[in-house]
Structures are given as C-alpha cells and as structure tokens.
Amino acid sequence: MRMSVYFAPTMKEAPAEAEVPSHKLLLRAGYIRKLASGIYEYLPLGLRVLRKIENIIRKYMDEAGALEVLLPILTPAELWQETGRWDVYGKELFRLKDRKNRDFALGPTHEETITDLVRKNIHSYKDLPKNFYQIQTKFRDEARPRYGLIRGREFIMKDAYSFDISEEMAVKSYEIMKETYHKIFSSLGLDYIMVEADVGAIGGKYSHEFVVKVPNGEAHIVYCEKCGYAANVETAKYEFELDKLPPEDEKPLEKVYTPNVSSVEDVAKFLNVDTKKIVKTLVYILSDGRKVAVLIRGDRELNETKLINYFKVLDCRLATSEELKEMNIVEGFVGPIGLNLPIYADISVKDLHNFVIGANEKDYHFINVNIPRDFEPIEFVDFSTARENDPCPVCKAPLKETTGLEVGHIFLLGTKYSEAMKAYFVDKDGKEKPIIMGCYGIGVSRLMAAAVEQSYDENGIIWPEEIAPFKLMILPLNIKDEKIKNKAEEIYKKALDLGIEVLIDDRNISAGAKFKDADLIGIPYRIVIGRKLKDGIIEFQKRTGEKEEISINDIDNLLEKLK
Ligand code: ATP
Ligand code: MG
C-alpha cells in the first residue's frame, strides 16, 4: 500500500476529551474517528487491525469446533420479554419501534436470539453438543461511554454459546473454551491474566475473566505470585482469620462524647485507637426496596458486588441523607445498637473485641462494644473488597494487586435461558430436559485499545507483530532523489511479491514528517533509504528502537526473514 493514496489522517494533538493513551493514539495515528459519544469509525488502518484480531479469534474458535453464525442485530422485544430482560436491562438496551409500532432492541448480547434458534431447530440429544459463535457489532447505551474503544456504545464482540445435554458435558465445553481463550490471547501478543470472576446467582467455579494488564485499568484484580491464584477484587475471598486482632477481655460498654468526629480516621484519631477497631455502619437500599444495615471494620472497603450477590438483587446503593433522615437515622453516627433495620456484618467484624460504633445520636459513639453481648448481627458475610497484601485464599502468601482491562468473559449459564425459553431436548431415556448453556464473550474492538495500552511510547503506537496493520514500512527519505525513489520502489515490489504486508511512504514530504508518522502508526519494521544509499547502505529499524545499517546486497535476505 502507498501512503500517497492511502487514508491515514494523522494529527499532532489528540482532542482534549481523549484521556487514555489508546484513545489518544488511535485517533492521532488515523486508526479511528469519532462519530458520536461511544460510536467510532474504523479507518483503513483500524480496520486492518480489527480484521487481524478477528482472524486469530476465528482460527482458534473454529479449531475448537465452534460454528460461526451471524445473528440479526435487530431483535424483537418478545424474545427479551420471555426471559424478563426487556425490563432488567433497563436503559442500557437500545430500543426502537418498527412502522407497525412493534418493539425491537439492538442486540447488546445474544443469549435470547441464539436460544430461540436452538429451541426451534435442535430437539434431540443426538444433535448436541453444539457451540455457535459470531463476530458482530453490539449496542449498549452505556451510562458512561469513555476511553474510546474501551467502553463504546457500539462495539464489536465475539460471542459464543454452548449447548450441552448434561452438567458434566457443559463443564467440558466450558473448559475447552477456557483453553481456547488462552490460545487466542497469547496469539494476540498480549500480557494477560485469567481471573476467577463473579458468578452471580449461579455459583460454582465457572466464570472467568481474561484481563489484559494495564496501569489504571477498570478491572481490579488480586493475584498470588506463589501459587498462581488470581481473582477479581469482587470475587476474591477475604481470609479474615489471618487478619484478625488478638483476643481481648471484654470491657464495659461506654457512650462517649465525640463532637463533630464521624469519619473512621477522625474517630480513630480522636479516641486514639486503630482504625481496625472502628466499625462502620452502612445503610443500603437494595433494588427490591429492602433496607439493610451492613457493618464493616474501619480499615476495610465494602464490595457492592458481594452485597448484591448475597441479597440476590440486581443492584444496591447507599441511602441518601434525606432517606436517612426519613428513617430517623443520624448521619455520621449510625450504629447497630437500637437501630431499627436488619443488621448484617462483614466477617472482618467477627471476633472483634472492644470496638467502636456510632451511637445513633449526634456527636456520640459507643466504645468497648462486643458481640453478642451488646447486639447481634443476623449473619457474618464476606462483604470485603480484596486488596494488596491480603492473605491468598489458597496458599496464604500476601496477594498482589493490579489493574487491567477485561477483554474476555466466560460463563457457565446452566439452564437460566433454556428454562425461561423452553429450549428442551429429548434425552436418551426419552425424557425432555432443558439444555445446559454456557456463554463466552471477547471484546474485539476493546482488544485493539488494550493492545495499545500495553505497548506504546511518547512517539506513538508499538503494535505487537501479530496484529499490526502492516508488517513493514518503507521510508524513502527523499522522493526527489531518483536513485532513492527507484531503490525504494524496487524493495517495495519485492516485498509485495513475497507476500509481506508492506506500506511505502512515497509522499513528497520531509524525512522528519515521515519518521513522525511512522512512529505514530507503529508498524513493527522499517526499511529506511536515505543519503547513504550512494555507499550501498540502507537502514533496518524496529519500532521498538533497534537500528542496524545493512548493505543493499543483503536486502533479499532481510525480506526473506520478514516473510
Ligand atoms: P464490563 O464489565 O466491562 O461492562 P461486561 O461484563 O458488560 O463488561 P460482557 O457482557 O461479558 O461484558 O461482554 C463481553 C466482552 O465485551 C467484555 O469482556 C468486554 O471485553 C467487551 N465489552 C463489554 N462492554 C463493552 C463496551 N461497552 N465497549 C467495548 N467492549 C465492551
Ligand atoms: Mg457492561
């Protein structure tokens, strides 16, 4: 391809709204353009990267025996109503009406659609197992579309769905996908980690996320260098037994005056005790309307995902100041004694002695509180967010914490969709049973951004070879010099004949401008033809920085190696 006729509009500066490196660089290097919030156009370079990612995914999905289909983006509301997700999905679902006023949604995911296909066409154990996948545009009206391709409202996903006749077979399908994902993400040239993920209502060990490690990523994970355990901070079990304070004799309960001190740090300072001895009382409103009080030790953070799973609700939030007032609760001094709410406690509060709580009275706290003497929670539950240095739940070594981008998610669904939609099969014993399902997603367009987040420098992108839009770039530094131009054209032609994906910068612009663009675009290898050509020398450069002068007689060897 020739830069003189290509379309890779580079920019000196990224728009101010681009905050993260991948967003800035993909815009500046001419890979993508924004049409509207969370909606992007893929320019020729961007599309090439996307296709490379898709092809690697396709190769391993096909190898694993999954069958590629392409389902409609426009999906009728009836399907979503069958599973209840027409309501559950809320505002994230893009809804529209046809000319006859019938409701439709733009598919954010395709469990309903694929289950409909299967229930209509697969009826016997003889037709199972099956795994269908597609690579397709998805639509989600995200509350906060941001970071360019990382969180879009229109994005490309690979989604796959497995259908099995038994739990055991479904687990097998799940394990095959897990292995396949490892192959895919290693082949993409990414540094990633597989973590145990939140399984929601299903339980068990069958949800994993694949996270590309990047600084400041949205996913927070903890992992153990010693035994290899890795999990989402929302999922990681908190080993409180190893983080407990030593036992103490119970002291008498006392109410103390604590004027204007309500934050954990302030109370700890005022009373001169460790934050571990302050117990926070949080009032939560669950999405089903229930109100609960949750206690947690002052040094720990409550994890709302754990809370949502425990109470089996869709969402939860802290009560507002107004709501606390309506409940006659004194904000800043909430405590479990005398509180008219169901009280639950994080396990960090278990076996804690002589601790401090709010007294439900302005400017007062109780000290020397003890369970069960002074109050008793309904249950101790693991609500804690895991963090660096917590003991590993498997081998007890201190955990490490890192952030990343979730690029893949696999999930054993069980019979949630097949039962709701009556996708049954007739088993060997002649009985009708619901099909056991799994679902497996990969954020294809997010991967493009994740690769950049992992590999760039101050001058631009440094693509992993596996997904670079081109492998080689040829830079004739001065096109007006016939010798340079002709040599460049000769090498370009040879590279094309060898099947190398090559881009030649045949534009009549300065050498400096060519280098700038080449750095920005980030093609892995470069052949630079400049003044030294008269001495029979050209330069071979890698985008990672290494440079080497080579004789023009060695060009054939070099190209052969790049093939
Ligand atoms: P997230 O927690 O990031 O919102 P999710 O749990 O909603 O992700 P899934 O429904 O499992 O995501 O979708 C499968 C994959 O699609 C994700 O692992 C992610 O890589 C990608 N993905 C999800 N939402 C978006 C989005 N808004 N923009 C780009 N990619 C996305
Ligand atoms: Mg989401």
Alpha carbon of 143 to ligand 2 centroid (Å): 10
Q: Do residues 206 and 71 both lie within one domain? A: yes
**Can you say whether the dihedral through the CA atoms of 400, 403, 409, 412 is positive or negative?**
positive
For residue 349, which phi and psi values (nearest 5 degrees)?
-90, -15
Tens-digit pLDDT profile for residues 47-58 = 999 999 999 999
What pTM did the predictor assign? 0.86
Do 279 and 229 fall within a single domain?
no
Residue 243 confidence (pLDDT): 81
Structure confidence by residue, pLDDT tens digits, 498-508: 999 999 999 99
Residue 223 shares a structural domain with residue 286: no
Domain for residue 409, yes or no? Answer: yes
pLDDT of residue 232: 87
With a 6 A CB cut-off, is 125 part of the ligand 1 pocket?
no
The percentage of the chain sitting over the pLDDT mark of 90, rounded to a whole number, equals 90
- Best mutation site among 157, 410, 440 for ligand 1, i.e. most ligand atoms within 8 A of its Cβ? 157
Q: Read off the pLDDT of each residue in 363-389 and give the average, rounded to a whole number.
A: 95
Residue 115 sits in the same domain as residue 227: yes
Answer with the one of 381, 410, 425 that is the final residue of a domain: 381
Determine which of 229-243, 256-270, 529-543 has the lowest per-residue pLDDT on average: 229-243
Q: How far apart are CA 23 and CA 40, in angstroms?
A: 11
Q: Which atom of ligand 1 is nearest to the CA of 151?
A: 28
Q: What is the largest CA-CA distance in the chain?
A: 95
Domain span including residue 531:
472-562
Q: What is the spatial distance between Cα 268 and Cα 257, in angstroms, rounded to a whole number?
A: 14
CA proximity to 173, closest of 420, 442, 410? 410
Whether residue 375 lies inside any domain: the answer is: yes
Eight-state DSSP code of residue 198:
-
- Please say if the pLDDT value at position 46 is more than 90: yes
For residues 488 and 406, state if they share a domain: no
Q: Are residues 127 and 257 in the same domain?
A: no
Instruction: For residue 142, report the distance from its CA to the centre of ligand 2, in Å.
Output: 7
Provide the pLDDT for residue 202.
47
Give residue 431's pLDDT band: very low, low, confident or very high (50, 70, 90). very high
Tokens of 485: 């131009």
Residue 409 near ligand 1, beta carbon < 6 Å: yes
Same domain, 198 and 276: no
Q: Say whether both 230 and 252 belong to one domain.
A: no
Total count of domains within the chain? 3
Determine the pLDDT at residue 40: 98
- In a domain? residue 461: no
Looking at residue 420, its pLDDT comes to 95
Nearby residues of 309 by Cβ (< 8 Å), 6 or more positions away: 198, 200, 201
Please check whether residue 77 lies inside any domain of the structure. Answer: yes
Q: Is the CB of 108 under 6 A from ligand 1?
A: no
Residues 50 and 134 in one domain: yes
**pLDDT above 90 for 203:** no
Specify if 9 maps to a domain.
no
Q: How far is the CA of 408 from the centre of ligand 2 (A)?
A: 12
Q: Ligand 1 centre and the CA of 446: distance in Å?
A: 8
Give the burial string for 32-69 (b: 16+ CB within 10 Å, else e). Answer: bebeeebebebbebbebbbebbbebbbebbeebebeee
If asked whether residues 94 and 164 sit together in one domain, one would say yes
Q: How far is the CA of 182 from the centre of ligand 1 (A)?
A: 18
Q: Are 289 and 158 within one domain?
A: no
User: Dihedrals φ, ψ of 318, to 5°?
Assistant: -70, 145
Instruction: Say which residue the tokens 């037709």 belong to.
Output: 127
User: Is it the case that residue 96 has pLDDT exceeding 90?
Assistant: yes
Q: Who's near 239: CB < 8 A, 6+ residues apart?
A: 390, 391, 392, 393, 396
> Which atom belonging to ligand 1 lies closest to the Cα atom of 109?
10
Average pLDDT over residues 460-470: 97
pLDDT recorded at residue 205: 67
Q: How far apart are CA 107 and CA 426, in angstroms?
A: 30
Closest residue to atom 22 of ligand 1, CA basis: 443
CB of 217 shorter than 6 A to ligand 1: no
Average pLDDT of span 337-348 = 95
Judge contact between 464 and 456, C-beta under 8 A: no
Residue 200, pLDDT above cutoff 90? no
Asked whether residue 541 is assigned to any structural domain, the reply reads yes
Out of 426, 453, 480, pick the residue that ends a domain. 453
204 confidence band (pLDDT: 50, 70, 90): low
Is 164 domain-assigned? yes
Alpha-helical (H) ranges within 89-166 are 111-121
> At 543, which CATH number?
3.40.50.800
Alpha-helical runs (H) found in 248-404: 264-271, 304-311, 321-326
DSSP 353-394: -SEEEE-SSTTEEEEEE-TTTT---SEEE--BPP-TTSBPTT
Residues near 420 by beta carbon (within 8 Å), at least 6 away in sequence: 82, 83, 84
H or E stretch at 61: helix 44-63
Query: Is 15 part of any domain?
Result: no
Confidence tier at 239 by pLDDT (50, 70, 90): confident
Q: How confident is the model at residue 536 (pLDDT cuts 50, 70, 90)?
A: very high
Whether residues 223 and 261 share a domain: the answer is no
Give me the mean pLDDT over the 396-412 stretch: 94
Nearest to 111 by CA among 418, 432, 410: 418
Which among 511, 477, 474, 509 has a CA at the least distance from the CA of 493?
474
- Domain-terminating residue out of 317, 351, 381: 381
Nearest ligand, CA 138: 1
Q: Share the mean pLDDT of the chain.
A: 95
